[in-house]
Amino acid sequence: MNNLENLSALEMLKPDYFGFICYPKSPRNFARFALPHFEYSKKVGVFVNEDIYQILKLQNQFQLDAIQLHGDEQDDYVFQLKSQLPQGVEIFKAISISTKEDFKKVLPYESSVNLIILDTKTELRGGSGQKFNWNLLDHYDSSLPFLLSGGIRDVDAENIVDLFKSHDKMHGVDINSKFEIEPGLKDKTKVERFINSIEKYADRY
């Protein structure tokens, strides 16, 4: 998210989290405008191999509720960050997936993070618009809850509800590029249609 008016419009849809990319190489890099308190949504700062001091600085400045690590951060780095964050601030770790063997990369973080982001393995640091093979989720055996990410579109709603029913560690989905008008600016109509479709298919169960 990189537009205050867009944020205000989307908050009415009550998403659980808003993500703010704090990575200068990303076309979605957060413009660092003042963030309000959101009644329904938590604020997530997304970082890639960032200095811990800088993460702590931005967490305090923007009162981020969660930190998402989307680089090559190792478990010792995560423990160090966790020890310095205010109590209650969550840590998410993105793991790139292309084969079932990639789920092994989750194991070192089981005692240091709150949530795993399962994203598609590409040369990009997220935002590729590509899916990995969701059938691979049958091999996910970590105790950590996860968000499904990577190339999710509004037409995927029914399939996603089916995945919720069959994977008890699935906590939600991380939507991004397929819901954008331009990098950092979401299409409210698409997001709303997606949420409504999720609710419609979920009502079947």
Give the pLDDT score at 203.
83
Q: How many domains does the chain have?
A: 1
Domain span at 179: 4-202
- For residues 78 and 112, is the Cβ–Cβ distance under 8 A? yes
Rounded to whole angstroms, the Cα distance separating 146 from 21 reads: 19
What is the DSSP code (8-state) at residue 122?
A: S
* CATH, residue 27: 3.20.20.70
Distance of alpha carbon 178 from the chain centroid: 14
Rounded to whole angstroms, the Cα distance separating 15 from 59 reads: 20
**Global pTM?**
0.93
Q: What angle do CA 56, 59, 60 make, to 5 degrees?
A: 90
Give the pLDDT score at 120.
87
Long-range contacts of 55-60, Cβ-Cβ distance < 8 Å, separation of 24 or more: 55/22, 55/81, 56/81, 56/84, 56/85, 58/22, 59/85, 59/86, 59/89
For the chain, give percent helix, strand, coil, nearest 5: 35, 20, 40
- Average pLDDT for runs of 10 along the chain of length 205: 92 95 93 91 97 98 97 96 97 96 96 95 63 95 96 93 95 94 94 94 80
| Residue matched to tokens 């089981």 | 110
Q: Look up residue 115 and give its two tokens.
A: 């949530």
Which of 100, 98, 205 shows the shortest CA–CA distance to 158?
A: 205
Rounded to whole angstroms, the Cα distance separating 27 from 2 reads: 10
Which of 150, 95, 160 shows the shortest CA–CA distance to 127?
A: 150
